[in-house]
Amino acid sequence: MKTPAPRPQLRRRRRRGQAMVEYSFLNYALVVALIVAMNVNFGSGKQEMNVIDAFLRAYQIYYDSFYFVLNLPFP
């Protein structure tokens, strides 16, 4: 008996991670859109800003407090 000749394997594109990449990208886009669009009221509601501005403002206050403490006139 003669054994059949091996078939040449077809070249296929690898698409294994395509669905996961699309899922991750859509989730990332939705989270960024929600963060940018979400507004926060501070105090009595007169000052309204989005979450990114609030975090940047808090970081600036934190940084300024270190600068203030380092420049105190201690002997």
Residue 43 lies in a domain: yes
Number of separate domains in the chain = 1
Residue 63 lies in a domain: yes
- 40 forms beta bridges with 49
Contacts of 7 (CB under 8 A, 6+ apart): none
Any idea which residue has 């403490």 for tokens? 69
Residue 56 lies in a domain: yes
**Domain assignment of residue 72, given as a range:** 38-75
Burial of 51 (0-12, 13-18, 19+ CB in 10 A): middle
- The string of pLDDT tens digits covering residues 32-64 is 888 778 877 776 667 778 777 888 889 999 999
- The string of pLDDT tens digits covering residues 21-30 is 888 999 999 9
Overall pTM surpassing 0.95 (yes/no): no
Residue 8 lies in a domain: no
Residue 32 lies in a domain: no
Q: In b/e form, how buried is each residue of 57-72, taking b as 16+ CB within 10 angstroms?
A: eeeeeeeeeeeeeeee
